Amino acid sequence: MVFPMEHRYLGRSGLKISEITLGNWITHGSQVDDSTAHATVHAALDAGITSFDTADVYAGTKAETVLGAALSGRRRESVEIFTKVYWPTGRGANDRGLSRKHMMESINGSLRRLNTDYVDLYQAHRFDVETPLEETMRAFDDMVRQGKVLYIGVSEWTAEQIRAAIRIAADMGFDRLISNQPQYNMLWRVIEEEVVPTSQELGLGQIVFSPIAQGVLSGKYLPGQPPPAQSRATDEHGGANMISRWLRDDVLNAVQRLVPIAQELSLTPAQLAVAWVLNQPNIASAIVGASRAEQVHENVKASGVVLSADVLHAIDIALGDVVTTDPALTVSPTTRP
């Protein structure tokens, strides 16, 4: 049964976000032209999506500019804008990481490109092993006190790293993390054993990316056959590299076993994949990407879908041993990129 777009609290905070977030990784500023990108944002708004995720590094900072332009003229208080800092945005030694210098310069650049006075959620895009965590947390806290950032979060941090950040925040009176943004889908479940229980304990919610596994869970990639034309697997702007690890026959055969499960529920396989994520513990929102407005219209139909225990069990049986669960696979670079 499908309901209108729903909103959920993000972690142990008072912030509500739409349970489906539109993200513009890969697409805006690179894969699609600006007019198409604007159309996807407007389609998302029309469908009830209020949360939008981007990052300074996406499309070499262009993605933030595209999102800012697409949201221009909309009531700022009616949307939640998320962006991130960590990956290189220039050639300088300090144009990367989570040092105070880079973070302060990066938030100013992001605000300028997004054409806003503040972002609702600012996220550490990975853990920086070369910067003292106290320095990173103080920079976060200063941004909140300056009104440039309302809430803070992380992306792809381990349970131990999250716990350390929360401890520092408590000891030093800093603002607390409220979110983590990991990769999570039916095939990739590495957060379940450690990150999710830690987040539940400490008050973080998950805003997950790749709920459709880069499109593989849509069912359109068939074992033993070339990928469809104009699909992500044929995208030379980075999409093909991202999806290649899923294009194994054992994975694709398992995904085809999900098709009749989706049909029984009057869902597409992609809608089933998003709905599955939203039916898991500690999930605040699933980030979906779209290269055209029609994809937004289809993805939002996963909002409000309730999957029974029997359906969830059938999904696990269908996927079998192609599911990855090792928590050690949540990692950040061992040196700054």
Task: Report the CATH number that the domain containing residue 295 is assigned in CATH.
Answer: 3.20.20.100
| pLDDT per residue rounded down to tens, the chain (337 residues) | 344 799 999 999 999 999 999 999 988 878 888 999 999 999 999 999 999 999 999 999 999 999 999 999 999 999 999 999 999 999 999 999 999 999 999 999 999 999 999 999 999 999 999 999 999 999 999 999 999 999 999 999 999 999 999 999 999 999 999 999 999 999 999 999 999 999 999 999 999 999 999 999 999 999 877 776 555 544 565 555 667 788 899 999 999 999 999 999 999 999 999 999 999 999 999 999 988 899 999 999 999 999 999 999 999 999 999 999 999 999 999 999 9
Q: What is the largest CA-CA distance in the chain?
A: 56
pTM: 0.94
Two structure tokens written together for 333: 């670079």
What range defines the domain where residue 192 resides? 7-329
Q: Residues 6 or more apart from 248 whose CB is under 8 A from it?
A: none
Q: Is residue 173 part of a domain?
A: yes
One DSSP character per residue, 28-94 reads BTTTB-HHHHHHHHHHHHHTT--EEE--TTGGGGHHHHHHHHHTTTS-GGG-EEEEEE-S-SSSSTT
What per-residue confidence (pLDDT) applies to 233?
47
Residue 273's closest CA among 156, 193, 186? 186
Active-site residue 58, yes or no? yes
Q: Is residue 335 part of a domain?
A: no
Please give the tally of structural domains in the chain. 1
What per-residue confidence (pLDDT) applies to 226?
72
What per-residue confidence (pLDDT) applies to 176?
94
Q: Is residue 336 part of a domain?
A: no
Q: Is residue 96 part of a domain?
A: yes
Catalytic residue among 9, 58, 118, 151: 58
CA distance 56 to 277: 26
Q: Could you list the beta-strand ranges (E) of the chain.
A: 7-9, 16-18, 20-23, 51-53, 80-85, 119-124, 149-154, 177-180, 205-208, 283-288
CA distance 218 to 234: 16
Give exposure, 196-224, as e/b (b: 16+ Cβ within 10 Å): bebbeebebbbbbbbbbbbbbbbbbbeee
Q: Is residue 142 part of a domain?
A: yes
* 192 backbone dihedrals φ, ψ, rounded to 5°: -65, -40
Q: Is residue 92 part of a domain?
A: yes
